[in-house]
């Protein structure tokens, strides 16, 4: 290996490690990798930021904005409003939700589609008295399956298409992914509907009922024992109704303000702050019965009886939320002390520390108190998804038709070759703003900037792998290691390795690394590179084994009450099924002897 190859390999290995570690956000890791390559003279400084103008980056940004426009217009809401009558049985419930999100994710950002359908999934679970765990993992997996069907369904497809354009002079078209992606989505959806959900641990399906939504025992909150409370002097075991209610005292903070575990024999003292797990529906009754004071994290006004214009709302912390890694004091500053954190639900671990000692993580579910007129804006500003059912306006047919027509026109312009898809999508964004479906501010609010920075930074790093000859070197080594294997098995190996990478690092980063490698392997074998690129596209979208592989998986973990180990139970057989059906499809539609 040359010094440059050793250097770029070291940078890549360290970058992959940092991606998987998750301590730093992936866009920061990508920028560190880019700067390191510049300092090591692997990338010309003049070319370091060319990725920000790359067609793949522009396309991903435009698709995110278009997804927001379709959401504003009510396109998916119009479909979702018909779901309630199709949820009579568990199988119908899963099929209806998974089917809608699979189709929606083919044409809009899958995280955006999940954002629309998550509240509907929760509300229909409540209506049918079913555990949300029954439908939320199928919902997340359906969003990933749907993204495989079209060019714009998921960033890996856009990346693979543009890498093909750089290598072969022509990108994959809008529906070139459908011959493989559509059968995968159909068969995968059938598996999820009839078999996959049965692999979710029964403990999630049985104990995580609609009235006890979060497996962590609902919310962690705090209640102070004031002078005169009937609790004073009683042991926890003696407190009337505590054992029968959906409220559990799991700890207490005394005068030193540190929380500690307590047993049923603990005798409550005046001034104690009880660490409580409670269903929010039962919390108020519990406080009133025992004359307790709710301890929130806002101004003292929130400790008084709740004003009429105040409201309690639930929100899931997004993977790109500004709250991640911060504490409750940040909520106070961010909302100018107008929003109070009342409770927190976190699944997969026991939460005992006090609210003021918490730092937020993706997937946390927060119970917030705030003014009814401003709470929605605060949720958006802090990067939270509201879990309350969205009001669906059925009188938006004109906006739905207009938004759909603009989107269809943009796709048509790109397909027939009037202009490129990135330009067509930018034109569509302009049409949405001009028609009032999008406001100018929303253009920037709804772009997932960490993903954009990740792509823009990793594109030059990926190019450095090729220019230094590292990609070719690795490809030749893999081909030599599999000497005597049929190309069928080599493509299978590439697909499986891509799948495994996508389960621990961002799928866009996976595609950026693996697509050039796939092309180099095809070149070394002297065959068409298209089946290798398709294998990378499929594999990069198959993040089914862990909750960290994709944002959709992370964001249903809290509301569904899942644990980290729950995902592979349904995800592993699904990935095996996809490998079995996708490789023959890839070789059938994209033969090795192709152009």
Do the domain assignments include residue 336? no
* 257 within a domain of the structure (yes/no): yes
236 inside domain:
yes
CA 70 from centre of chain: 19
Predicted pLDDT of residue 492: 95
CA distance 161 to 183: 20
Query: Could you tell me if residue 84 is inside a domain?
Result: no
Q: Is residue 247 part of a domain?
A: yes
Structure tokens that stand for 139 in this block: 């919902």
Token representation of residue 327: 């504490």
Radius of gyration for the alpha carbons in the chain, expressed in angstroms and rounded? 26
Report the distance separating Cα 57 and Cα 326, nearest Å.
Answer: 29
CATH number of the domain bearing residue 279: 3.30.70.1450
- In whole angstroms, give the CA distance from residue 354 to residue 273: 10
475 located within any domain: no
**Model confidence, pTM:** 0.73
Domain hosting residue 255, numbered range? 226-291
**Domains contained in the chain, number:** 1
Parallel, antiparallel or unpaired: strands 365-371 and 339-345 = antiparallel
pLDDT of residue 123: 76
Q: Model confidence over 292-308: pLDDT tens digits? A: 887 765 443 444 444 45
Residues 229-240 have pLDDT tens digits of 888 888 887 887
SS3 9: helix
Q: Can you give the three-state secondary structure of 560-574, one letter per residue?
A: HCCCHHHHHHHHHHH
Main-chain phi, psi angles of 316, to 5 degrees? -95, 135
In a domain, 317, yes or no: no
d(CA 43, CA 162): 20
Q: Are strands 384-386 and 293-295 parallel, antiparallel or unpaired?
A: unpaired
Q: How far is C-alpha 580 from the geometric centre of its chain's CA atoms?
A: 26
List the chain residues with pLDDT less than 70. Answer: 76-77, 79-81, 84, 207-219, 241-246, 254-262, 279-281, 296-310, 347-354, 388-398, 594-595
Residue 277 lies in a domain: yes
Answer whether 487's CB lies under 8 Å from 535's CB: no
């Amino acid at each position: 290996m040359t010094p440059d190859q050793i250097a770029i390999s070291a940078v890549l290995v360290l970058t992959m490690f940092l991606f998987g570690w998750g301590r730093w956000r992936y866009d920061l890791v990508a920028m560190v990798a880019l700067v390191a390559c510049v300092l090591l003279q692997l990338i010309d400084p003049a070319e370091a930021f060319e990725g920000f103008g790359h067609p793949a980056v522009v396309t991903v940004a435009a698709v995110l904005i278009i997804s927001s426009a379709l959401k504003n217009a009510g396109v998916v809401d119009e479909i979702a409003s018909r779901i309630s009558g199709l949820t009579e049985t568990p199988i119908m419930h899963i099929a209806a939700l998974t089917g809608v999100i699979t189709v929606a994710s083919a044409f809009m950002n899958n995280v955006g589609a999940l954002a629309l359908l998550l509240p509907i999934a929760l509300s229909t679970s409540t209506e049918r008295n079913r555990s949300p765990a029954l439908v939320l993992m199928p919902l997340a997996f359906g969003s990933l399956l749907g993204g495989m069907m079209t060019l714009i369904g998921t960033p890996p497809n856009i990346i693979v298409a543009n890498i093909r354009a750089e290598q072969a002079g022509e990108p994959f078209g809008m529906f070139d992914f459908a011959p493989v992606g559509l059968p995968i989505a159909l068969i995968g959806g059938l598996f999820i509907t009839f078999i996959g959900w049965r692999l979710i641990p029964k403990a999630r399906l049985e104990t995580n009922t609609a009235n006890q939504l979060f497996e962590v025992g609902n919310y962690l909150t705090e209640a102070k024992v004031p002078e005169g409370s009937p609790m004073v002097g009683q042991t926890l075991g003696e407190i009337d109704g505590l054992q029968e209610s959906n409220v559990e005292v799991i700890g207490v903070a005394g005068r030193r303000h540190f929380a500690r575990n307590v047993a049923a024999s603990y005798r409550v003292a005046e001034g104690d702050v009880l660490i409580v797990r409670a269903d929010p529906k039962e919390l108020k009754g519990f406080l009133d019965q025992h004359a307790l004071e709710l301890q929130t994290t806002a101004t003292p006004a929130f400790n008084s009886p709740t004003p009429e214009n105040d409201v309690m709302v639930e929100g899931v912390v997004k993977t790109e939320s500004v709250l991640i890694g911060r504490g409750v004091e940040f909520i106070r500053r961010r909302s100018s002390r107008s929003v109070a954190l009342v409770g927190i639900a976190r699944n997969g671990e026991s939460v005992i520390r006090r609210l003021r000692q918490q730092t937020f993580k993706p997937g946390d579910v927060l119970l917030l108190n705030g003014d009814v007129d401003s709470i929605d804006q605060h949720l958006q500003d802090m990067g939270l998804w509201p879990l309350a059912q969205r009001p669906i306006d059925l009188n938006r047919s004109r906006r739905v038709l207009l938004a759909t027509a603009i989107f269809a026109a943009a796709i048509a312009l790109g397909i027939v070759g009037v202009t490129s898809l990135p330009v067509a999508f930018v034109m569509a964004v302009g049409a949405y703003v001009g028609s009032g479906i999008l406001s100018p501010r929303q253009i920037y609010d709804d772009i997932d900037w960490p993903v954009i920075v990740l792509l823009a930074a990793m594109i030059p790093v990926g190019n450095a792998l090729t220019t230094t000859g590292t990609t070719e070197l690795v490809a030749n080594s893999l081909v030599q290691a599999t000497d005597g294997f049929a190309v069928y098995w080599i493509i299978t190996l590439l697909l499986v390795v891509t799948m495994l990478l996508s389960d621990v690092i961002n799928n866009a980063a996976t595609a950026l690394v693996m697509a050039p490698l796939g092309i180099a392997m095809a070149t070394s074998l002297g065959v068409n590179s298209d089946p290798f690129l398709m294998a990378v596209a499929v594999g990069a979208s198959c993040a089914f084994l862990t909750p960290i592989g994709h944002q959709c998986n992370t964001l249903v973990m809290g509301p569904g009450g899942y644990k980290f180990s729950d995902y592979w139970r349904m995800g592993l057989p699904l990935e095996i099924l996809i490998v079995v059906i996708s490789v023959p499809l890839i070789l059938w539609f994209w033969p090795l002897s192709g152009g």
